């Protein structure tokens, strides 16, 4: 809407003023109302309660391409690790924080517009109402996960969650 109002005068024909539509019609005025997000205290459960699957460092694609003509068993033994964002942050908080900084939607000022009750990035990362209980299933050929693997998994999952948050109207 413009900041200054403009007054407009309409001249109506006398025959229109006598019309039934003019006398009994109803005029609707649409007005845009801003929805307050002050009561929003958590990420949507559909995003928060979902388990995200990530495939990192399996070597499957490279092995399949290299061994196409050879008739040997090319299966790669992989391991599955189930974790949460909160557990990864307990292992290495800066790793999760660095992954968040790669995605624009996770700037604190932007998050604050979506979640006005949010007090800190630490709360956003560790609280069960936000990212804390987001489950991740990591498939990797590594027997123990490295910080790089955790980082790649976080970037992948957080980019998915960032897309969901940015779609909020």
Q: What are the distances in angstroms from CA 30 to CA 1, 33, 37, 39, 121?
A: 12, 9, 22, 25, 38
* pTM for this entry: 0.70
Q: How confident is the model at residue 59 (pLDDT cuts 50, 70, 90)?
A: low
Q: Does pLDDT of 65 surpass 60?
A: no
Where are the strands (E) in the chain, listed by range? 51-55, 79-84, 135-140
**pLDDT beyond 90 at 27:** no
Structural domain spans, the chain: 45-166
pLDDT at residue 152, rounded to an integer: 94
Query: Per-residue pLDDT averaged across 117-127, rounded?
Result: 95
């Amino acid at each position: 809407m413009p900041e200054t109002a403009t007054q407009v005068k309409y001249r109506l024909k006398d025959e229109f003023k006598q019309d039934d539509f003019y006398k009994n019609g109803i005029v609707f005025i649409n007005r845009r109302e801003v929805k307050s997000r002050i009561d929003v205290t958590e990420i949507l459960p559909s995003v928060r309660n979902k388990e995200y699957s990530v495939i990192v460092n399996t070597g499957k694609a490279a092995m399949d391409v290299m061994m196409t003509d050879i008739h040997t068993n090319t299966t790669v033994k992989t391991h599955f690790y189930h974790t949460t964002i909160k557990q990864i942050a307990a292992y290495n908080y800066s790793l999760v924080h660095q992954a968040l900084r790669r995605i624009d939607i996770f700037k604190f000022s932007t998050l604050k517009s979506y979640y006005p009750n949010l007090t800190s990035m630490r709360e956003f990362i560790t609280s069960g109402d936000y990212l804390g209980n987001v489950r991740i299933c990591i498939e990797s050929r590594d027997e123990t996960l490295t910080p790089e693997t955790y980082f790649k998994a976080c970037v992948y999952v957080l980019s998915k969650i960032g897309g969901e948050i940015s779609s909020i109207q």
